[in-house]
Each structure stands twice: as C-alpha cells, then as structure tokens.
Amino acid sequence: MKQVLELRLKEFLDKHPEIYKIGKTFRHKNSSHEIKLPKKFSPELCRLLGIIHGDGNMSYDRIVITDKCLEYHIIIQDLFEKVFSVKPNLFHDKKRHTYYSHIKRMVVYKFLVEVLEVPKGSIRRRLSTTSYMNLWDKKLKSSYLGGLFDSEGHVGKKQAKISFTITSKEIFDFVKNFLLENGIKVSEYKRKRHEKPEYEIYIYGKQNIQEMLKFVKFYHPDKVSRLKLFSSH
C-alpha cells in the first residue's frame, strides 16, 4: 500500500520539476508556502478524501468544502494540517447561513487532481472509484466512509436510521459492498433525476448501526450528537 502512493508521488514530481523538495516538505517555484505530500495512505488522508468527494469543489485551482457547522470546519482544518501541513481559510456566508473552508495551494490542488484523481469542478458530478481505493485495507476504507458519511450522510432525528445519497454508481457500489462485506444490513434505492439518477443507501436499526459504528466513525458534531440518542442503548 505504501508503494502505491509513493510511486504515484514520484511520477507526479518527475512530471512537475517546478515542484521541488525542501527537507520533508515541497514548494512550488512561484510560491513561498511549504507543503507536505504524503507517501502513503493514512486514515486521515482517506477521511479527508471522503469529505472532499462528498462536499468538495475543485474550481480555479481552489479547494472548497461547504458545511453549515462551524465546529466541523475546525475538524477539516485539523485534517488538512495533519496531511498537508497547511490550514484552509474559513469564510462565513451569512446570507446562506453556511461556512466554506477554502484553500488555494497549487501543490495541494495538483496532488489531489493528478495523484488522487479527484475530479475538477463539481466533484459529485464526475466522481468515480479509482484503482487504489480497492487496495485499501479495512481501516482505510472505514476512514474514507467516515468522511463520506460526515459530508453526505444523514442521521435520523427520531428513527434509528442512517442514509446516504450519491450520484456516482461506482462510489455507491463501493460503499454498499464494503458495508455488506462487514455484516451491515443495507437497503438501497435508485431515484430518477433529470440529469443523473441518485443512489441511496439506508441503514436501519439500533443494533445494525451500533455494529457499523464499531469501524465507521463519524466526526461531524451534529451527526455525532444524533447518533448518541440511539446508539448507546
């Protein structure tokens, strides 16, 4: 697993001589910012990738993640710092009652697009699985699902239910198959839309959810508080 990302990183750096190494960090020739680029997949990197796949946008060399919960953005900032040694800026859109974590670092942007194959623009519309995702072990896949459910999952307020919706059939199958392989009962539904269909997963029942939470961890404060209402009894 270490070699997969390490080889991808080497190919990336060979392709971009304008990105050079300084000690343990990297810098673009036109920037003074030093960035850390991971050589191996970690739970933090996989969770961050799940968050970006769910709520991210990659336009104009900028990475943007949208969510209404301020505390959640603090968690996102911490993840970026651990993985890339860079802290996103935070913008509060008072009219839309939401927050944006945004970062414009050419090295990070190119790494995500070229090494991790994150789609440009609206990520959800172009999202698909990659070959390296199938090589992840249970811990890394669980972290990815945690980030994906933090961004795109919904926890029921009264009923013991977790739901997840996405337009990518490949990601839907990746999530569904991983849950089924680990003994989690799921219901699925396909909803027709004008442009692309939406694929939905539902996880019902306290015991079923408790089993899922043993390996898929939620970080989003709002969802964590809802889960506590029925996952501890």
Query: Same domain for 10 and 121?
Result: yes
Query: Same domain for 147 and 215?
Result: yes
Query: Same domain for 64 and 119?
Result: yes
Residues 6+ apart with CB under 8 A from 23: none
Q: Is the pTM of this model over 0.85?
A: yes
Q: How many domains does the chain have?
A: 2
pLDDT of residue 230: 73
pLDDT of residue 58: 93
Give dist(CA 102, CA 132) in Å, integer: 26
Specify the CATH number for the domain of residue 214. 3.10.28.10
Judge whether 75 lies within some domain.
Answer: yes
pLDDT of residue 232: 59
pLDDT by 10s per residue, the chain, length 233: 558 999 999 999 999 999 999 999 999 999 999 999 999 999 999 999 999 999 899 988 899 999 999 999 999 999 999 999 999 999 999 999 999 999 999 999 999 999 999 998 878 778 888 989 999 999 999 999 999 999 999 999 888 999 999 999 999 999 999 999 999 999 999 988 767 889 999 999 999 999 999 999 999 999 999 998 875 55
Judge whether 59 lies within some domain.
Answer: yes
Query: Same domain for 10 and 66?
Result: yes
Judge whether 233 lies within some domain.
Answer: no
pLDDT of residue 109: 96
195: containing domain: 135-220
Judge whether 78 lies within some domain.
Answer: yes
Give dist(CA 127, CA 110) in Å, integer: 17
What dihedral angle (degrees, nearest 10) is formed by the CA atoms of 52, 53, 56, 60? 100
